[in-house]
Amino acid sequence: MTDPDIAFGERLVAFLPNLRRFAISLCRSRDLADDLVQAACEKALTGSERFEAGTRFDAWMFRILRNLWIDQLRRQKTAGPTEEIEAQPELAVPSGEAGSEARMTLKSVAAAIDDLVLEQREVLLLTCVEDLSYKEAADVLGIPIGTVMSRLARARKNLAEAAGIEPAAARSPDMRGGAR
């Protein structure tokens, strides 16, 4: 007989790359992210019976991790001004090898995502990167769908502007930036 906790643990292990990606992009620090991932796994394991079969495991884990992060931000707040946390992002993507032009563009998109305020960043990560629906993202974040949509729309406009993402095929007379 397979132990349910061991099976649950393996499921978590399989999901670690996603969870870690979400954590890194959320708190913009690998060290913080790994601590956060570990804490989230611990919480998930102690509350594994609260996971409802048939619902999305990833959404459940994202919610646990995200709530831990928000709690942590809130606690840090008591220690005085903590703008540094937001103001000193680590690059989300390792700069690694010198890249092609495509890589440069992508890197700037990652940096632009990092620059989004947390509210917009988290909603973008959940929907556009982790492929959750608006409804699922709303559940993870505990906000109405309408709020998810307005934040997400703003996030993407900001991103497009910051990273110079131009609609490839369209004429866009009032948009700035060179023709491509």
Partner 1 sequence: MSDMVFTDEILMAFADGELDDETTRLVEAALETDDELMARVAMFMETRAASSEALKPLIDEPVPDQLVEKVRAMAAGAAARRGDSQTVAEADDSASADNVVAFRRPEPAAQSPRRPSQLMMALAASLLIVVGGVGGYLVGGAGQADVGNPQVAGLVDPIVSGILDQRASGEEIAIGEGEAKVRLVSTFQAGGQQICREYEMKRPDQPDFVSVACRNAGGWQTQLAIVMPESGEGFAPTSSVETVDAYLTSIGAGAPLEAEAEKKALAGQQ
Task: For residue 7, give both structure tokens.
Answer: 């099976």
Minimum CB separation from partner 1 for residue 44, in Å? 9
Minimum CB separation from partner 1 for residue 88, in Å? 14
Residue 120 touching partner 1 (CB under 8 A): no
Q: How many residues bind partner 1 (CB under 8 A)?
A: 83
Contact indicator for 145, 134 with CB cutoff of 8 Å: yes
Q: Where are the alpha helices (DSSP H) in the chain?
A: 4-27, 30-46, 57-78, 83-87, 101-115, 118-124, 134-141, 145-163
Can you tell me which of 24, 27, 61, 65 binds partner 1, judged by CB under 8 A? Answer: 24
Residue 32 touching partner 1 (CB under 8 A): no
CA-to-CA separations, 159 to 56, 117, 176, in angstroms, rounded: 28, 11, 14
Minimum CB separation from partner 1 for residue 98, in Å? 15
Q: Which 148-167 residues touch partner 1, going by CB under 8 A?
A: 149-150, 152-153, 156-157, 159-160, 163, 165-167
List the x/- string, 36-75, binding to partner 1 by CB under 8 A.
-xx--xx--xxxxxx-x--------------x--xx-xxx
Minimum CB separation from partner 1 for residue 150, in Å? 6
Tell me how far apart the alpha carbons of residues 165 and 147 are, in angstroms, rounded to a whole number: 24
Minimum CB separation from partner 1 for residue 117, in Å? 9
> Dihedral of CA 44/37/87/110: which sign?
negative
Can you tell me which of 98, 100, 101, 169 binds partner 1, judged by CB under 8 A? Answer: 169
Specify the 3-state DSSP secondary structure of 51.
Answer: coil
For residue 40, give the nearest of 68, 13, 1 by alpha carbon. Answer: 68
Q: Which 81-110 residues touch partner 1, going by CB under 8 A?
A: 81, 83, 86, 92-94, 106-107, 109-110
